[in-house]
Amino acid sequence: MFKIGEFSRLSRVSVRMLRHYDQLGLLTPSQTDSFTGYRYYSADQLPRLNRILALRDLGFSLEQIAGMLNEDVSTEQLFGMLKFKRGEVQQQMQEEQERLARLEARIRQMNESKHEIYDVILRDVESELVATYREVAADDNRIQQIFDKVEIYVEAHEGARADKPPFTIYYDDEYRDAEIDCEVAVPLKYPIPESESIRVRQTPKLFNMACVVHVGNYSSIYQPYNALLGWIESNGYQMKGPIREVYLRYGTSTLEFALPPTYLSDDQDQYVTELQLMVEKR
C-alpha cells in the first residue's frame, strides 16, 4: 500500500488531481484510515489511473470518463466512443482551419486595403412579414420613389407599419446603375390587403448570410461591397442568391407623415446600411 504522496510520485499525478479523482468517484483509495483520514493506494490501481490519463489525453471529459469506467462498457462500445470522439476532433480541426483561413484573409485585407477595414460575419436572417414592390427600376431615384409608394400604402392601414428597418433585394447577377431589378420591402406588424402592384409576403428565413455594415452616406457604399466580395473570395465561399441592403439608419424627407423614428437620421454621414448575401462553400 502507498500513501497518497508516494502514489503521486509513482504515478506522476499530483496529489491534488488524485483527490479530485477521488471526489468524482473515478479513482477511490484502496483504503482510508478512519482515524487519520490518510488515503492509501495499491499498485493494482495504476492500470485504472493510466486508463483515465489516456482517455483525458484523447479529449474525453472527466464526466464522460466516469461513465466509461463505472459502467460495464464493452470493447465494441468503447470502440464506438473512440470513433465518435475522432469525428469530433476532425470537426474541431476543420473549424480551426477555417478560422486560420479567415485570419490570413483579414491580415491580407489589412495589408492591402487603403480604405476602412470592414468586418464580415456569417449569421442567419430571420423571416419577417413585409409589403413589397418589385420593378426593373430606371435608377436609384426611382427606387426611392418605390419606397415612398410602399410606405404610403402601408400608412393607409392604421398601425400596420412595424418598427423595423426596410430593405431592398437586388436580383441582378451583376452591379447595375440603371435598369435595376429590385424589390423594396417595408416590414409589417400584421397582414394587410394587397394591391395590383404591392404584395404582402413572409420572407423565408435565410441561412449562412455574409453580412457587413457600412456607416456613412451612400456615395461610398461601394467600399463595403468590395470588402464583402473580397471576403467571399478569400475565405473560399461563393455567392448564392440576391444581395440585400438593410437600412438600419436612413433618412426620408419626401413623405408627409412620420415613420417610426428608431431608424431615422437627418445626417447622411450617420446612415447605417447592412449588406447581406447568402454564401456557400465552394
Query: What pLDDT digit, counting tens, does each position of 149-191 carry?
Result: 999 999 999 999 999 999 999 999 887 888 999 999 999 999 9
Query: Cα 61–65–67 angle (5° rounding)?
Result: 120
Output the pTM of the full model: 0.64
pLDDT on residue 189: 96
Check residue 250 and report its DSSP letter.
B
**pLDDT exceeding 70 applies to what percent of the chain?**
96
Higher per-residue confidence, 106 vs 246:
246
Secondary structure element (H or E) that encloses residue 3, with its range: strand 2-3
Q: What is the pLDDT of residues 243-266, one digit of tens each?
A: 999 999 998 877 888 888 899 998
Residue 76, amino acid? E
End-to-end CA distance of the chain: 62
Place of cell 470493447: 75
Rg (CA), the chain: 31
Considering the chain, what is the average pLDDT of its residues?
A: 88
Helix ranges (H only) for the chain are: 4-11, 15-24, 46-57, 62-70, 75-112, 140-155, 222-234
Ramachandran angles phi, psi of 29, nearest 5°: -60, 150
Average pLDDT over residues 66-89: 82
pLDDT band of residue 118 (cuts 50, 70, 90) is confident
Ramachandran angles phi, psi of 3, nearest 5°: -65, 160
Distance CA 53, CA 12 (A): 11
Residue 131 near residue 185, CB atoms below 8 Å: yes
Answer yes or no: is pLDDT of 212 > 90: yes
Q: What is the pLDDT of residues 18-60, one digit of tens each?
A: 889 888 888 888 888 777 778 888 888 898 898 899 888 888 8
